[in-house]
Chain A
Amino acid sequence: MVHPTKPDFEKAALSELPLLYRVARRYAMNAAEAEDLVGQTLLSAARAWDNFDGRHTRSWLITILKNEHLKTIRQKSSRPKTIGFEESGEVSEGDLGSEIDQRAFVEDILRELDSLPEDFRMAVALCDVEQMSYEDAAEALGIPIGTVRSRLFRGRRALREKLKAWPSDTKALETAEVRS
């Protein structure tokens, strides 16, 4: 049954474009491939839209993106294991101080995230970067919620281990606010 508030495709999909691109970056780990992946996802989603019930659009789109990614892998039989250094060269010379530090820091943490095995990487990307619920992430990835939690916690542990090696991490950890 079609959800009564199901929007039209362009409105629904295009509002999720930034999210799809970020998730695609975690899958493809290369800006050009990520753009292609999102483009393919939009085309596939547009074709399937009439058969979609309109519930959990975000998870539905991510599922399509994941399937397109798997299709690409099958076609290529391999995927890049590292992010190109030139990928980090998007900061203009006019940017100063903290902005550069912030950008570099974000790129560093994403690079560390991208070095995790895909199962862990995607759980962290959806739940911690995109802040999706366990339930939505489970639906998007096509796995049980318990598996999402397991991958998420193990992914966080692995990422934390990597971040421990950062000299600048110490200060951040010392000043981290502890509250629940």
Chain B
Amino acid sequence: MRLHKDNGSDEPCKHMEGHLNRVADGTAGPLRRWYVRAHMAGCPMCTRFFASLKAMLGRLHKAKEAEPNEEAVHRILATYQAATAAAD
């Protein structure tokens, strides 16, 4: 793997973005993971991109825990049950 000159950005190499996404979200196989890891060893831009992507995915996972609020679910349930009872 060649070394990439650090230009200070967190823009990934064009050919790496898909691979980095697959590794970050855990859908990459071992070969792809190895390739990404080897590439990142010599590429600070891809390393920064990967770090920010992982951080963002972590935040999105937390967003799942925050929704919904239980009151909304209870209201939906009550509305559904009222509608089905009326139909019966």
**Chain A interface (Cβ within 8 Å of chain B)?**
14, 17-18, 21-22, 25, 31, 34-35, 38-39, 42-43, 46, 90, 102-103, 105-107, 109-110, 113, 124, 127-131, 133-134, 149, 152-153, 156-157, 159-160, 163-164, 169, 172-173, 176-180
Instruction: Judge whether A17 and B73 touch: CB under 8 Å.
Output: yes
Instruction: Judge whether A180 and B33 touch: CB under 8 Å.
Output: yes
Instruction: Judge whether A35 and B75 touch: CB under 8 Å.
Output: yes
A and B contact pairs by CB, cutoff 8 A, 6 listed: A22-B67, A106-B63, A129-B61, A173-B48, A176-B54, A180-B37
Q: In the assembled complex, which residues on chain B have CB atoms less than 8 Å from the CB atom of A180?
A: 23, 28, 33, 36-37
Secondary structure dominating the interface of A: helix
- Given the known inter-chain contacts A153-B17, A156-B56, A178-B50, please indicate yes or no for A34 contacting B61, CB distance below 8 A: no
Q: Considering the complex of A and B, which 6 residue pairs feature the smallest CB-CB distances, nearest first?
A: A176-B55, A21-B68, A106-B66, A176-B51, A128-B60, A42-B80
Distance between Cα atoms of A107 and B62 in the complex (Å): 11
Instruction: Annotate B35-79 by CB proximity to A: 1 below 8 A, 0 otherwise.
Output: 011001000000110111111111111111011110011011101
Q: Count the A-B residue pairs with Cβ separation under 8 angstroms: how many?
A: 111
Distance between Cα atoms of A21 and B80 in the complex (Å): 13
Instruction: Judge whether A129 and B60 touch: CB under 8 Å.
Output: yes
**Chain B interface (Cβ within 8 Å of chain A)?**
17-18, 21, 23, 25, 27-28, 33, 36-37, 40, 47-48, 50-64, 66-69, 72-73, 75-77, 79-80, 83-84
Q: In the assembled complex, which residues on chain A have CB atoms less than 8 Å from the CB atom of B55?
A: 169, 172-173, 176
